[in-house]
Structures are given as structure tokens and as C-alpha cells.
Structure 1
Amino acid sequence: MSDTLDGKVALVTGASSGIGQTTALALSKAGARVAVGARRTDRLQSLTQGAPGEMLAIELDVTDLQSVKNAVAATVDRFRSLDILVNNAGVMLSSAILGADTTEWTRMVETNLLGSMYTVHAALPHLLDSKGAVVQISSTSGRTASAASGVYAATKFGINAFSEALRQEVTEQGVRVVVIEPGFVSTELTSHITDPAIQAAAKSMAESMRTLQPEDIAGAVVYAVTQPEHVAVNEILIRPTDQTR
């Protein structure tokens, strides 16, 4: 295992807060040059100013295929290569299926699943050239669905399925595919929920345990991408000790 990512180039989506922001900083600290993409560019500018190494802020909407292509192109134009893609952008709009606002379903599918797929599609030629790594931030909901999280879980199950197909297609060409499945993490993700009762329930559940911190997930990402080239860490399931499911 190498503790350094010197000379490597990473692109992190959803980097304006939470896991994405912390992962970008961890990769930068490990020596990578990092492009950070998100819609909230004001937050990205603050992030780049405090980064340990060279960092590029890119306005990115993963639901827009052209925006994704532009972000990948901007990364390669600036740093001349791409070695690590961290697909982190996502929203969680939990609700019961009966009476749901289906526009929220569309938003989750477009952001969590299609956005991840678009970014892989745009980045893959460069990752094949560099024999790089794709890191997919999934969820424990990609393994076990639960009431009021059906569509969110469907997007995460979809990420897991897409990632396994991708792995089979590219692993013999040297590209490693990593799926990271966090349990409860202390981020703003639950604040996206528009149903007050479900948001309160999610908050109560989080408060009942010692939740993971974004740094815990960032550490898992760095661990996976600093393994020797012949070692592929394909899946990391990481829950709070107190989380039962």
C-alpha cells in the first residue's frame, strides 16, 4: 500500500459539503490534485482556498450530461489526466410511496443514479488510459430497502448493479471499481427530506446512535485508492457500531 497519491488526479462530485467535501480534502492531503464539482460554487471556492494542495472548482450539475462532460474535460485540460473519480453527488428525499410527490422520485433517479452513470461514461476513457479507479458512494440502502425509502434505495441498488457490471467490463484493463456503502453519516443529507414527520424520524434515529463522520468515509476512499495496483477493494460496507440495520 502507498500512503501517497502524488501525481494522481481526482474528480469528486457533490463536493460542496459532507462526504464529498471531506473526501476532496483527504485526497488533496494525500498528494492528489483534485477537481471538485457541485452546483454551489461559492462553497467550492471556499474549499479550494483551504485545500492542502492544488484544487480546481468546477460548476457541475450531474443531472445534465453536457455539464458532466464539461467537468471531465475541464479536469483533464487543467491537470492533463484523470486517475480517480469519486461519484458522491446525491439527494435523499424519503417519503412513503402512497401520496408521494413523484417529482422527488425523478430528482433522486436523475441525481443519484443517472448522474453517477453519466459521470462514469464521460470519465471512463481517461480512467482506462491511466488505469485509474472509480469510487461509487452508495449506501446501506443499496443492500436493504426500508419503508419510506423505496426510491432512494432503488437508486442505490441501481448504483451497486451498475458498478458490478462496470467492474466486469474494465477490471482486466486495470481500472478498479470501488463501491462504498455508508450507514448513518452526520451530513446535511436528511435535511433534503420534505416530509416533516419522516425528517423528524430520521433525525431521531441519527440522534439515537454515534453516527459516522464524513472523515470516516473519506478515510475509506483513501484506503481503497492507495492499495497496490494488483489489489482491488471492490466493496466497503461501513456502519456506525450502534446501527443495527
Structure 2
Amino acid sequence: MSTEPLVLVADAAATRTLTLNRPAAMNSFTTEMHAELLTALNAAADEAQVRCVVITGAGRGFCAGQDLGDPQAAPGKDLGALIEAHYLPLVERIRSMPVPVIAAVNGVAAGAGANLAFCCDVVIAGRAASFIQAFSKIGLVPDTGGTWLLPRLVGHARALAIAMTGDKISAEQAAQMGMIWQCVDDAALQDAVNALAARLAAMPTRALVATRHALSAAQDMDLRSALQHEATLQTELGAAHDYLEGVDAFRNKRAPKFTDR
């Protein structure tokens, strides 16, 4: 068996890139890769110098979802237990990261791999990439947050049709319907991701993360509750370093130096 890590970790300035590293299997999930990815995400969350995380895949694909050859996914096994043990903590970790998370989708993102990307804050995909809700093809429902994420991204009607048919959605189609942020030429993907990561890393991280939580929470609130939640967050952020730094930089016409996390 290969001793090469299943998740590669690389730093460039304040950005940490985590690369799923099972290219021969299109980076499909095994329990071992789950463990390495969760460990890598926890480490990035704990390190103050990391201000943005990028998740991508090695080789031709982003992630083909669950490896059906993994013993934990074999017929007769409790798939719900697999989800609760591995996918649930993975989704919750990504959605609770103290820094922005970008998915750089460099190829096929199928099943849990597609929904892994959608869990991230921003998704940029190469033109050759595609997104497939493959669950219906094997008698399952979308998981890895898919039932929660898809309707919020594209609306109920599109989400239901995409999930039921399991049709391949091109990166260009995904961008047009609001499923992802941006589709770029394959050759430009790395530069586009690097530029966005550097931009987000230089911004007020704490406010960006609060924005993620505020937008998600507001989906289940009435308007008044959302307004009150906004007021609570502004009270907290308005007393923090980055707000004071941002205002001072604006007044003095200089570049701000944000440090909150």
C-alpha cells in the first residue's frame, strides 16, 4: 500500500491548500481519507497564520464521492452510521471554519464530492469540471448536506430535478444557475483561486466568517429576527480591532492591516 498522504498540505503566504490525493480513484472518499482531511482542517483552524483554506483534488478530478469499494460502504453496512461518523463531522467542520474556505474544482465532483464543494464558502471550477448528484443512480438520497444546500443554491424545483435525474451539470451551467461562484478556463483555474485566496486572506477574517453564519442563519428567520441578529453581530464586530483598523485606514487613506480571526 502507498504511504503517500491521502491529503496533501501546502502553504503559500496566509493560504493553506488541502489537496485530496487519491487521483487513481478520482479522489473518492475512504474512511482513511476522511480522517486525514478532518485532521488537516482542524490543524488549519488552530493555526493563527492561516487566513484562508483551499480544498482541491489531485489529478483529473475533484472528488468522485464515496469509494464504494471501502469496507464501510459495502452492501449490508449501515450507511447512516458511515455518514454520522465521517460526513457529518466533515460538513460541520467546513461550515464552522474560522477562515474562508474555497473549493477549487478541477474536474468531476460527484455525489458527496459535489456537496463537499458546495459546503465551502466559494466554489471556482475549471470549464471541464462537472457536478453530479449521483445518489439516485444507486438508490440513495443526496447526503453530505446536499438536501440542505441544493435548494438554497438553486431553488426547490431545480434542486429536486437535479437530485432525481442525477444529470451531469457542467461548470458553466452551474455558474449560470448560481450553484457555484465562477467558471473559468481550466488553464486559468489556479491563478483565479490564488488571487481570490490572497484577497480573502487580506480581508477582515472574523467579519467574513460572521457573514457566512449570518446568511445561513437568516434562511430560517423572519425579517425582524434577521435584523436583530445583524444588530448583535455589528455590536460584536464594531468593538473589534478590524473595524477600528478599517475605519482608521479609510480616514487616513492607507491600506488596512486586518488581524482578527
Q: Report the TM-score range of the alignment, normalised by the length of the smaller protein.
A: 0.3 to 0.5
Tell me which structure has the larger Cα radius of gyration.
2
RCO comparison, higher one (Cα < 8 Å, 6+): 1
